[in-house]
Copies of this chain bind each other. A is one copy, B any other.
Amino acid sequence: MVGKSQIKFIKSLHQKKYRNEHQLFVAEGKKMVQELLNSDFEVYQIYSTDLNFVESLKNIAELVKADDLKRISNLTTPNGYLGILSIPKPKKIIFDDWVVALDTINDPGNLGTIIRLCDWFGIKNIVCSPNTVDCYNPKVLQATMGSIARVQITYLDISDFLKSVEIPIYGAFMDGVSVNKINFPKKGILLLGNEANGISDDISQVITEKITIHQFGEISTESLNVATATAILLHEIRR
Shortest Cβ distance from A110 into chain B, in angstroms? 11
B residues less than 8 Å from A231 (CB atoms): 224, 228-229, 231-232
B residues less than 8 Å from A228 (CB atoms): 113, 117, 227-228, 230-231
Alpha-carbon separation in the docked complex, A235 to B116 (Å): 19
Contact pick for A216, options B122, B215, B217, B218, CB 8 Å: B122
CB <8 Å contact, B220 and A238: no
A interface size (C-beta, 8 A):
35
Alpha-carbon separation in the docked complex, A224 to B239 (Å): 16
B residues less than 8 Å from A119 (CB atoms): 217, 220, 222
Q: Does A14 contact B (CB under 8 A)?
A: no
Alpha-carbon separation in the docked complex, A225 to B120 (Å): 11
Contact pick for A116, options B121, B213, B225, B239, CB 8 Å: B225
CB <8 Å contact, B220 and A147: yes
Shortest Cβ distance from A112 into chain B, in angstroms? 9
Alpha-carbon separation in the docked complex, A238 to B226 (Å): 19
CB <8 Å contact, A120 and B150: no
Chain B minimum-CB-distance residue to A151: B217
| Cβ < 8 Å to B, chain A residues 126-159 | 145-147, 150
Chain B minimum-CB-distance residue to A231: B228
